[in-house]
Structure 1
Amino acid sequence: MATSGEEAIAQRILRLTDIAQEPLEFLSPISGYEEMPLVSLEETVEKLVHILPTVQSYAYVAKQRCKNPADGLTQDESASIMLYTMGWEPLDKCLYVVLNATLRTANR
């Protein structure tokens, strides 16, 4: 079993080597999302469960850790950032990796 230090190193390596996955062709920007209404973190992650079955558990943990954000963000905003940066096992199934892989596809 990997130690927390080994897991942190593995996560850093994954993020650094992630650049190799960038598409060589230019993808057009995603538009229209700024017109979408803001919804709660819980409502947002419900739509991701079919891709990331444990995302709700991680969202709950992130929200619990962000009860009183000192950064001027709402609890959901702060927890969303934390959720995006969290690594979980297996690392290739964490939100950061899956979201970035999806954003690199032409059909996103």
Structure 2
Amino acid sequence: TTTSTTSEKDTTGKRSINPQQEAIVPLKQLVPDIKRKAWLAKLNSETPADKLTPDESASIMLYSMEWTEQKESLYYIPNSTLRKEERDLLKPWFLYLKLILTGLAKLPSIEGKKFVWWGFSSCTSRIDVLEQETIFGKIGMRTIFTIESKNVKNIRRHSMYPDEDEILLLPATQVEVICQYHPSEDVHMIQLKETEPLYPLQDPV
């Protein structure tokens, strides 16, 4: 009998991009219920748009999913890790990050528009989405960022919530504060603009 693995080596001997199933193996102890969530994402990514593979699209959809507890959501955990200085903590995420960044690299960038640093940042191009309590709401101390950036990807066609028209700001994006504004006592608005770093902050995929 013969066996096969979920990843292969290419003709150069380098390890190829790991599909989603393999990428989540190191995350099972870090992200609750990730196996079922990954299955659901893959189920909804059988015929992806933008010439992405099903695994690439599923990795983006998995990122867009919301767990019952926000701090258990897949998007929350790697972002908190990316902001720490202990890079060894990112090792379990390498396969997943490689997969999702490869997929995001295939999506067309949105240039010259404004949207609401080391980590991924979920944004939207629709201001009405901000009225949702889980996103911005209408009460309490809140901060909204508008970002003029070329380093963003529209993941609406690969998101579990396409109606939110979700935009993803890629990690390691350098921005400059343009101005700040307080329209009310409990709302703080900050305008940002992406700038080119002197040296790349992220290795190309």
Q: CA separation in 1, counterparts of 2:50 and 2:68?
A: 28
Larger % of strand: which? 2
Q: How does 1:35-46 map to 2 (within 5 A)?
A: 37-46=16-25
Aligned to 1:96: 75
Asked whether the equivalents of residues 63 and 75 of structure 2 are also in contact (C-alpha less than 8 Å), the reply is yes
Q: Would you say 1:106 and 2:74 are equivalent positions? A: no
Aligned to 1:74: 53
Percent identity reads 39
Aligned to 1:26: none
1:85, CA displacement in angstroms? Answer: 1.2
- Deviations 1:4-23 (CA, angstroms, capped at 9, x unpaired): xxxxxxxxxxxxxxxxxxxx
Aligned to 1:31: none
Structure 1, unaligned runs of 5 or more:
1-34
Greater relative CO (CA pairs within 8 A, separation 6+): 1
Aligned to 2:35: 56
* Higher radius of gyration, 1 or 2: 2
Q: CA separation in 2, counterparts of 1:94 and 1:36?
A: 28
Change (3 A) 1:36 1:87: farther
Structure 2, unaligned runs of 5 or more:
1-13, 88-205
1:55, CA displacement in angstroms? Answer: 0.8
Q: Number of residue pairs matched? A: 74
Extract structure 1 runs of 4+ deviating beyond 6 A.
none
Aligned to 2:63: 84
